[in-house]
Amino acid sequence: MMRFFRWRSLTAFALAIMVCMVSSALSAADKGSASAPIPYPPNWWVGMHDARLQLMVQGAGIGTSETTLDRNPRARITRIVRGDSPNYLFIDLQVAADAKPGDLIFRCARKDGIASLRYPLLARAADSAQRRGFDIRDVILNLMPDRFANGDPGNDRVAGYAEGADRNNPGGRHGGDLRGMRDRLDYIAAMGYTMVWPTPLIENAQTEYSYHGYAATDLYRIDPRYGSNAEYRDFVAKARSKGIGVIQDVVPNHIGDGHPWVKDPPTADWITLGGRFEPTRHGRTAVADPYAAQVDRDDFTQGWFVATMPDLNQQQPLLATYLIQNTIWWIEYADLSGLRVDTFGYSDNAFLAEWTRRIREEYPNFTMVGEEWSANASVVARWQNGWVDGKPGMPNMMDFPLSETLRTALGEPGNDDAGGLRRLYEAMINDRLYHAPAALVAFEGNHDMPRLYSVLGENFDSYRIALVYLATVPRIPQLYYGTEVLMTSPTTRDDAATRRDFPGGWAGDRVNAFTGAGLSPRQAEAQAWLRTLLNWRKTASAVHGGRFLHYLPRDGVYVYFRDDGKQRLMIVLGRNDKTVELPLVRFAEGLKGATGARNALTRTPVALGKTMTVPAHAALVLDLCTSSRPC
């Protein structure tokens, strides 16, 4: 056990001032020194919707103290709870509705002394509660911070952290960081992205695989190999100034086995299965299946992902509150625009309902997207549509069913009467299941999947079709870093290959995708084309909210329309090897008499007579001419 730190005798205290000043700065700076008690969250704010606050104070022997709060107008203690470990104390507070910013002073007394703890209640940023999340007007970029750009070689190795950067180790850290991301925001903005989702940046003081980010060892601290909490906040502010929101990747389901909770859990039931590793069988249908046995539901939510990621027991109310407050703290502290929630359904279901409710209660216009890696739309829909006693569900979900269909459809030979484009057409029937299909996030790839370009057999035509589809269907599109320069990987899962360094992110890189130096002509073409597509999409009101009307693919051509009354788009996706003349009479419902159009990306005119000429491997976005939008 750690020694009891800096407790002073009562007489000494009577003479003196604060012994132990605890603030967010100190908690970060002194972490690991086995010293001062640390409060979690490290601060809070006045004027929150929910006036309750629960502090977990962590420190050697803190749980044996009698704790009081100095008389003040801001908050009062409503309850004190001791954990099973003596090194934690939970303090429930009620913050006054009209509280002004300022510090709370706690006195923690034991027979051998007394310590004081200063706790800041800060003012909220203006309009924080009304912050807007992401929606269908946005395009999300998923990147891995360790693999994107190394802006600060000085943090490649940090004392006290087992892993340092080694670019020759495919599964190790490579040195990318927050400064690298911040310095490349102009590139990200120019590409047309409006949201960036970095994989987790919080501390992963694990002995290996720490770049991955999903094995947290401190839920309140940015990993110093990426930068500091302040640098994260600075990155978010800089991004916002360039029109880019930041989506934080959060993991309520599990932690890393290097987290202090593993050796010293606050309560005996903090980790599932009594802290014993038992792998989940990933039976994700069980939690919604009306016929499932309880043992299988429990296996899904209580089984561990892997041995190095202990599963959190969110049925433990102190832990549930900790996790809810942790998420709200990051939204408020860092000024986030959204959350991406890892392994969503693996958490306790009742907890997820409450976690979602509390966040939405604080931030009614905020959005968050859950990961439920199932190709079964019924499984995904269940989360969006609600699950416990009719409570609202997760507002956004990752659309794995449609995204996997997209990759499969365009990765197989073009028999479009059965597979191929026909798959895309038939996938849309699933929208019957969703409460809000346009709030789903569809994607071409992510850090867990083989690269799109490789899945498509490095076929540039199929690549363009896939991305036009993603940009124009009623979904929020999400792309993966490097897709714009045709990065490749094996077509079976190979994490190291899927997460290669972005070219140009490291000093001395032979190829630099930020400047274009060294890109092949095809890569440069892809990058310029995607930049045009995504920037056009920002202005396309019919994509953002228009009706979707589509036609059964025939003769290798899939046609659909988007129409919001102001803009009418005709999207033509074709997989024929040669030019075909497409009869248009069948499309009268979508054309509404239009006889002309412009290619939305090149602005060249397109004639629409009894037929239209569809080039080989077409990925056409046509802006139909109307009386309000003449050609």
**Rounded Cα distance, 589 and 629, in Å:** 18
Q: Is 210 in the site for Ca ion (CB under 5 A)?
A: no
Nearer to Ca ion, 41 or 505 (CB): 505
| DSSP notation for 475-540 | SEEEEETTGGGT----SS--HHHHTPPPTTSSTT-S-BTTTTBT--HHHHHHHHHHHHHHHHHHH-
- Is 371 tagged catalytic? yes
Helices vs. strands in the chain: H and E counts, helices first: 18, 26
Candidate ranges 13-21, 168-176, 332-340, 601-609; the one touching Ca ion (CB under 5 A): 168-176
Please give the residues from 505 up to 524 whose contact with Ca ion meets the rule CB under 5 A.
none
Residues 132-161 that bind Ca ion (CB under 5 A): 150, 152, 155-156
Least separation in angstroms between residue 158's CB and Ca ion is 10
212 versus 617: smaller Cβ distance to Ca ion: 212
Of 209 and 226, nearer to Ca ion (C-beta) is 226
**Residues in contact with Ca ion, shown as a per-residue x/- string from 258 to 277 under the rule CB under 5 A:** --------------------
The distance of closest approach from Cβ of residue 165 to Ca ion in the complex, given in angstroms and rounded to an integer, is 6
Instruction: Output the smallest distance, CB 124 to Ca ion, in A.
Output: 32
Q: What crossing angle do the helices spanning 317-334 and 229-241 adopt, rounded to 10°?
A: 50
Helices 400-411 and 377-385 pack at an angle, to 10 degrees, of: 150
Nearer to Ca ion, 175 or 310 (CB): 175
The nearest distance, CB 144 to Ca ion, in angstroms, is 13
Q: Is 175 in the site for Ca ion (CB under 5 A)?
A: yes
Report d(CA 399, CA 434) in Å as an integer: 11
Beta sheet of 75-82, edge-to-edge order: 38-40, 52-58, 88-95, 75-82
420 and 412 Cβ atoms separated by less than 8 Å: yes
**Cβ proximity to Ca ion, 225 vs 407, nearer residue:** 225
User: One of 371, 372, 444, 501 is an active-site residue; which one?
Assistant: 371
Active-site residue identified among 138, 342, 362, 416: 342
- Please name which of 460, 469, 501, 496 lies closest in space to residue 482, comparing C-alpha atoms: 501
Closer residue to Ca ion, CB minimum distance, 177 or 372: 177
**Least CB distance to Ca ion at residue 157 (A):** 9
Per rule CB under 5 A, is residue 249 in the interface with Ca ion? Answer: no
Q: Hey, is 368 helix, strand or coil?
A: strand
Query: How far apart, in whole angstroms, are the C-alpha atoms of residue 606 and residue 604?
Result: 7
Q: Judge residue 373's burial from the number of C-beta atoms within 10 Å of its C-beta, 0-12 exposed, 13-18 middle, 19 or more buried.
A: middle
Q: Are 564 and 547 in contact (CB under 8 A)?
A: yes
Phi, psi of 9 (to 5 degrees): -65, 160
Q: How far is the CB of 175 from Ca ion (least distance, A)?
A: 4
Q: Which residues bind Ca ion (CB under 5 A)?
A: 150, 152, 155-156, 175, 177
Task: Please list the active-site residues.
Answer: 342, 371
